[in-house]
Structure 1
Amino acid sequence: MPNPENIAKKLGIEQSEQGYNLSKQSLLAAIGGPLGVAEAVLPSMLFSIVFAITKDALPSVSGAAGLALIFIVIRLFQRKPLTQALVGALAIALAAWLALRDGGQAADYFVPGFITNASYGFVFLVSVLVRYPIMGYVGQFLFGLANWRKTDHLYRRFRFVTLVWVSFFSLRLLIQLPLYFSNQVELLATSRIIMGAPAYAGLLALTWVMIRKIAQPERYIR
């Protein structure tokens, strides 16, 4: 059974004597802390700058991938889980291979991100279609709303929150895929930065506001 504390951390909230709360510190921790923000922003920024200067995939991809690997090494020294580092390294290797392979192009460096967004969006959408919206379980684990699926207004609201997440991942694809197919590499890299950690932090804050508003009137229902 999922741990409510782990769910809270992933949503950018923290537990206190007064219950769950959102703070700058907890929100920052949810997106990986200062290192996580740098890891999400700087490689794409370096990619964009180098490509703008050179118009060449090799130095652009090499610089971004090298910087991303440095962040992974830092995480290893911080004794972060090895699995997380390995997954990150594999993702970087795949992105670099796609961009530098025969017939590849610089924009292919961002293809793994498209796959990730499509996968998450698909999972959240399927949960709505099968009438088990994921955010309903967040409300259940955090606030004890065990009967949310049998309570129409709770079900509808948690379905809406889940669809907000579907919209978030879909919007990333709707904006970035046309840039990819038109080979607007610099704009693609810039959109990746803007719609990365900053946008995700905004999504977490909005999600917390919506879930708390849903749960407060029903807080003591079990």
Structure 2
Amino acid sequence: MSEPIIKVLIVEDDNLIAKRYQMILSKDPQIACVGRAASGYEGTMLAALYRPDIILMDIELEDKQAGMRATSEILAYMPEIKVVMLTVCETDDAVFRAFELGVTNYLLKNMPADAILSAVKDAYYDMPSLHANIAGKITREFKRIKTAEDSLLRNFHILTMLTPTELEVLDLLLKDYNRQEICKMRHVEPSTLKSQVHSILKKFGKDSVQEVTAVLRELHIPEILAQRKGSLPVRQSTE
């Protein structure tokens, strides 16, 4: 039984690059280039017309996001098509957004011919193999997300250990009130506030208020606290 012919559509606005891909694909008898588009709009139309198995999609076509928009639309209506993104520079944001859209693989345009053919066949057979640079970026991102999740859970646990008074003090600190202002607002002596702040720092395992607020802001906890409490006023800028 003969192997199936893999239908590939090239979406690339640079004529020389598109011809290079056409030449590379033409040398493999298992692959047939069914068309070439020079814009995201044209790529979407040809995808609907030819129903290729694989699309080699440039990110930057008529504008820097055209490839992303075309990919989003194609995969929304034709999810069976596999999209392999092409770019000259694999920035983190572009890589992650592409995979969020559902692309199968992500290649640099200057990859050698065998890597391009392998990417097409791997995508067709649902065995995508990521280039080392891309795989490394994704691994680092998963590690970052896992670290952030652990930090979020840990800090939420600490928040549950704070007394209502400590939570109010922390809320005011997050809104950038200084200690003198907090004493006045809460009608307490500086020594009392100092003791409360010390208790907060001890529970968070930090040496300064700045360390605590920096971590909580990075995790967007002030917004969560605001939704939870909704009673304390937001400090207005005097500038």
Q: Per the shorter chain, which TM-score range?
A: under 0.3
The structure carrying a bigger strand percent of its residues is 2
Q: Radius of gyration: which is bigger? A: 2
Higher relative contact order (CA 8 A, sep 6+): 1
So what's the TM-score if we normalise by structure 2?
0.25
So what's the TM-score if we normalise by structure 1?
0.27
The structure carrying a bigger helix percent of its residues is 1
